Amino acid sequence: MVESVVDVHDNTEDQRYDLMVDGDLGGTIVYRDPRPGVRQLVHTEVRPELGGRGLAGVVAKAALDDIRAKGWQVVPTCPYVASYIEKHPEYADLVAGG
């Protein structure tokens, strides 16, 4: 089986992280920046036909790594991202007020 090419980038114009799978939009994490240095992750979505491949985790990790690289904090409003942080405590220090 051929591996898919997966990439995540910050689509600042649409305020979302885009998960690209073989060059097509496979999923997103929508965000808002309520104040300087804070990114609120609002909603995670992966196309249904791509489910079960761990791609939501890929985009969540990439978003959190990007937020860390910026030196910002995160507000994990999205239940998936909140759960991801619980399962990956190395990101707990990014949570605003946490």
The answer to whether the Cα torsion of 73, 79, 82, 88 is positive or negative is negative
Per-residue model confidence as pLDDT tens digits over 21-35: 999 999 999 999 999
Residue 53 is assigned to a structural domain of this protein? yes
Tell me, what's the pLDDT at 55? 96
The answer to whether residues 44 and 29 touch, using CB atoms and an 8 Å cutoff, is yes
- Domain extent, residue 82, equals 6-93
Tell me, what CATH number does 70's domain have?
3.40.630.30
Tell me, what's the pLDDT at 1? 45
Domain count within the chain: 1
Question: Whole-prediction pTM value?
Answer: 0.94
CA atoms within 13 A on the CB side of 39: 24
Residue 59 is assigned to a structural domain of this protein? yes
Per-residue model confidence as pLDDT tens digits over 46-90: 999 999 999 999 999 999 999 999 999 999 999 999 999 999 999
The answer to whether residues 58 and 65 touch, using CB atoms and an 8 Å cutoff, is no
Residue 12 is assigned to a structural domain of this protein? yes
Angle at the Cα of 31 from the Cα atoms of 62 and 85, rounded to 5 degrees: 50
